[in-house]
Amino acid sequence: MTDADNSEQGGAVLALDAVCLTRGDRQVLRDVTLHSRARRIGIVGRNGSGKTTLARVISGLVPVDSGTLKVCGVDVVRDRKAALRTVGILFQNPDHQIIFPTVHEELSFGLTQMGQSKTEAARRVAAILSDFGKSHWADAATHSLSHGQKQLVCLMAVIAMAPRVVVLDEPFSGLDIVTRMQLGRYLSQIAAAVVHVSHDPASLQDYDHVVWLDAGQIVQQGPAQDVLAAYVTQMKALGAGDDLSDLAG
């Protein structure tokens, strides 16, 4: 059964139809159509291909010029309240995401924004920290944490809100191998569906459905093995050439 067949039956994690977005004189996304019920969806592409913009669109943070977009049946742009309960995003740089001085405050914020009382939020924060074995972090100053620890705090903050979909925008960038492995282990255990944006095919090789994006357009999508093999072949061909215009900015 194809992803298109699945989407027609309802229950699609992602349902994008002819999504377009222009910034200035540049069309960042061009007729992006994607229907998938997969629990692990990867989006691969070079720098400047539109991956991060697509991640923000899926998260409801950026409105599109045309086309339709739903995540688990929710229009995340028009219904922001429902979007908060449906999709969460983990940015590449945790310093762009963390806004509070302590871990407890950072984890509590989203919960209170969803309408939980301080008591309810505190209970939920304690449970999340315990689940991750980080109860001793509650009063820790966020600025004192390492890059990897901050990324874990951001992940816990997203998971605390129990979204149905978690969007990851290059979450392993700048992390050493050990930290990447540890964060990857945490991510593999979460119940939510995952949409993982990356330029690194190795990080997506075990995913159910992979989308190759280039210049804002989908070049190929389908099983990870097929898409990633084609992507790597193309990248190797570009890398073997002498045309410096192929170098990504």
List Cβ neighbours of 60 (8 Å cut-off, separation of 6 or more). 71, 76, 77, 80, 83, 87
Each residue's pLDDT tens digit, 227-243: 999 999 999 998 887 66
Average predicted confidence (pLDDT) for the chain: 88
Each residue's pLDDT tens digit, 172-191: 777 788 877 877 887 877 88
165-169 and 193-198 strand pairing: parallel
* Per-residue pLDDT band at 245 (split at 50, 70, 90): low
- Domains along the chain with CATH numbers: 3-240 (3.40.50.300)
Q: Following DSSP, what letter does each residue of 195-239 receive, concatenated?
A: EEEES-GGGGTT-SEEEEEETTEEEEEE-HHHHHHHHHHHHHHHH
Each residue's pLDDT tens digit, 99-150: 999 999 999 999 998 889 999 999 999 999 998 889 999 999 999 999 889 9
SS3 177: helix
pLDDT of 56 over the 70 cut: yes
Q: Following DSSP, what letter does each residue of 123-163 receive, concatenated?
A: HHHHHHHHHTT-GGGTT-BGGGS-HHHHHHHHHHHHHHT--
Q: Which residue has the higher pLDDT, 9 or 73?
A: 73
CB atoms within 10 A of CB 196: 23
pLDDT of residue 83: 86
pLDDT of 7 over the 70 cut: no
14-23 and 66-71 strand pairing: antiparallel
pLDDT of residue 173: 77
pLDDT of residue 243: 60
Model pTM? Answer: 0.85
